[in-house]
Amino acid sequence: MSVMNKKAKIILWILLLTTIDQLIKIVIHAYYMDARFEIIPSLFEFVPVFNSNYSYVNDLLNKNLNIDIGFIPHIVLYVVLQVVVANIYISFKIKLDNTFSWLLDTAIVFQVSALLCALIGNVIWAEGVLDYIYLKPLYVFDLKDVYSWVFVFLFLAYTIKKKDQLKTVNLDPKDVIEYIKKTKLFSKYK
């Protein structure tokens, strides 16, 4: 598979997952905001709520320590985390052989999808982030949070498979910049 086809597929999957998350939220917001029902008794419940604290971490900080990180720091944090993850992803792609690279590619699809969903949720939804699955008795989450956990699982699986090779990987941002230039990572897709 050519690099362009692979990049195009990754982007299409990211767009598809992001669209699914947002369509679910649009339908819930339009028709099911007052609905409540158990999905798996004593474990999962459908409970749509708006989280005006922008994230689970900020919600916990606010409830337990009366600390509110705020909107702008959340956006900055999302961007910084994405830069770090992109640096790691590209460094691994450059410096490791391609066995199990599908794990890494799939992980990045879920991570970027989660990031886009989080950004959309924080910017578009005026009332806060729409969460709708209650994990009793811990917290309410949404599909974006599932994407984040899938990313973590796949990324850990990849690092476990590559643990011996990872000892030699140097995460040098200069290598990442060269890779981006060489592969025309941000070029138009045909």
pLDDT score, position 190:
39
For 90, other C-beta atoms within 10 Å of its C-beta total 21
Decide: 96 and 166 in contact? Cβ < 8 Å.
yes
Please name the residues in contact with 11: beta carbons below 8 A apart, sequence gap of 6 or more.
189
pLDDT digits (tens, 9 = 90+) for 87-107: 888 888 877 767 668 899 999
CA angle 62, 119, 39 (to 5 degrees): 70
pLDDT score, position 170:
67
Q: Rounded distance, CA 22 to CA 25, Å?
A: 5
Which parts of the chain sit beneath pLDDT 70? 1-4, 97, 99-100, 169-173, 175-176, 179-190
pLDDT score, position 86:
85
Q: Rounded distance, CA 89 to CA 19, Å?
A: 23
pLDDT score, position 172:
66
pLDDT score, position 2:
58
Q: Rounded distance, CA 190 to CA 183, Å?
A: 14
